[in-house]
Amino acid sequence: MEFGWSEQQLAFRRKLLDFLDETLPPDWSDIARDGPGSHAQMDYAREFCPKMAQAGLLTRHWPVEYGGEAGATPWEHMILSEEMWSIGDPRSSGYMGANWIAPTIMKYGTPEQKAFHLGKIASGEVLWAQGFSEPSAGSDLASLRTQATRVQGGYVINGSKIWTSYAHSADYVYLLTRTEGAAHAGITIFLVDLKLPGIDIRPINSILGEGEFHEVFFTDVFVPDEARLGEEGRGWAIVRAALHSERIGAARHEMARRTILKAVAELRRRKRFSDPVVRMRAATALALARAARLLVYAVVEGRVKARDPSAETSIARYALYEADKAAAAFVAEFLPESLLDGGDGQLRAAFASGATVGLAAGSAEVQLNLIARDGLSLPMKA
């Protein structure tokens, strides 16, 4: 068994770090202060993603026939995610388009959809949002109600989405709607231009700062048949595979590790790291980040070996939740002053992430349910 990185992987990380050194502006930490959904960071992503694309880094992991690089493995993709996520992700929502929206278009899209969307995502010129959650449909997406009604030449969409990150500046939304049919059987996906008439985007203020969350209202929004991804009523099967990737898509283990190391360095500087309680809590949080990393790596290895998705992803996701939460709690308890206005941008972002990690990309409790069902084969209540 080999736990080290190969020469190729080390070279890739160096290339990426060199690119970030050359590309990120000196005031990057100010831009990143309010998180990837903020106006400042979305604006910056519009400069950064095209540069990343030109450097051959944005969609390097795509299949070769769609412009990916021969020999790039899921490991390089994980290295990319670690380096991006731990500095606050300058791609902003650019990661979503490249990592899971484009792959579902590759698999289920028409030739016209591929021609229209994939090139734009690969060049970094468009940003996407994800319109899944609704006021009464979060964990239970099967109860979503945003209605797409068939009309001549397309559909008319009515309803609303909530907690939509990035919506204020994104160009397109990957939208889950209800067509004919109940529960999962009636879910249909549309690739929707957010500038269409009848779409109203309203910000929701939250602990995560400006720009993170929105409500998106759809009133008689006409979308042509060509905007539908896959067959009518088959959206659930498409999105299940996408959600699987999203669960470990963000390298939270690395953000947790760097957060704890930064906090420890600061505590040492302030001569507050000799307290055995502080040291024990730092070690515990670091151990959780390490455990999460190994579990995430097990999933990556499964992808390299083309194993079918399994409960391993939910186990890794739950470990990421524990690691992120522990890092946030460590900072809040021992360096609370760093979380105030004017405090440390990286630590503030880590704290905000730890506060919401149990909900974003599939709630922690739902992951436990999936582990019980798919990993332990426990009977589920009807």
Ligand X SMILES: Cc1cc2nc3c(=O)[nH]c(=O)nc-3n(C[C@H](O)[C@H](O)[C@H](O)COP(=O)(O)OP(=O)(O)OC[C@H]3O[C@@H](n4cnc5c(N)ncnc54)[C@H](O)[C@@H]3O)c2cc1C
- Asked if 299 and 312 touch (Cβ cutoff 8 Å), the reply is yes
List 201, 332, 360, 372, residue binding ligand X (CB under 6 A): 360
Query: Nearest distance from residue 367's CB to ligand X, in Å?
Result: 9
Give residue number: closest CB to ligand X: 138
Residue nearer to ligand X on the CB measure, 163 or 330: 163
Give the torsion through C-alpha atoms of 310, 311, 312, 317, to 10 deg.
Answer: 120
Residue nearer to ligand X on the CB measure, 72 or 370: 370
Q: Which stretch binds ligand X (CB under 6 A): 100-108, 112-120, 194-202, 362-370?
A: 362-370
Residue nearer to ligand X on the CB measure, 35 or 334: 35
Q: In whole angstroms, how large is the CA radius of gyration of the chain?
A: 21
DSSP lists the bridge partners of residue 224 as 154
Q: Which stretch binds ligand X (CB under 6 A): 162-170, 237-245, 275-283, 322-330?
A: 162-170
- Residue 202 is encoded by which pair of tokens? 């309203």
Place of tokens 């000799």: 274
Residue nearer to ligand X on the CB measure, 43 or 365: 365
List 40, 199, 366, 372, residue binding ligand X (CB under 6 A): 366
Query: Nearest distance from residue 25's CB to ligand X, in Å?
Result: 25
Cα 30 to Cα 39, 42, 53, 241, distances in angstroms: 12, 13, 24, 36
Distance CA 207, CA 355 (A): 9
Query: Nearest distance from residue 137's CB to ligand X, in Å?
Result: 7
Query: Nearest distance from residue 209's CB to ligand X, in Å?
Result: 11
Q: Binding string to ligand X for residues 117 to 156, with x set by CB under 6 A, is what?
A: ------------xxxxx----xx-----------------
Spatial neighbors of 325 by CB under 8 A, at least 6 apart, are: 354, 357, 358
Distance CA 191, CA 229 (A): 7
- Asked if 361 and 317 touch (Cβ cutoff 8 Å), the reply is yes
Distance CA 224, CA 235 (A): 17
Query: Nearest distance from residue 369's CB to ligand X, in Å?
Result: 5
> Hey, which residues are catalytic here?
246
List 46, 147, 369, 372, residue binding ligand X (CB under 6 A): 369
| Strand 128-131 relative to strand 172-178, pairing | parallel
Neighbours of 40 (CB within 10 A): 17
Rule CB under 6 A: say whether 365 interacts with ligand X. Answer: yes
Distance CA 129, CA 216 (A): 11
**What single-letter DSSP state applies at residue 136?**
T
Query: Nearest distance from residue 146's CB to ligand X, in Å?
Result: 11
Q: Binding string to ligand X for residues 327 to 356, with x set by CB under 6 A, is what?
A: -----------------------------x
Q: Give the interface with ligand X as residue ranges (CB under 6 A).
A: 129-133, 138-139, 163-165, 356, 359-360, 363, 365-366, 369
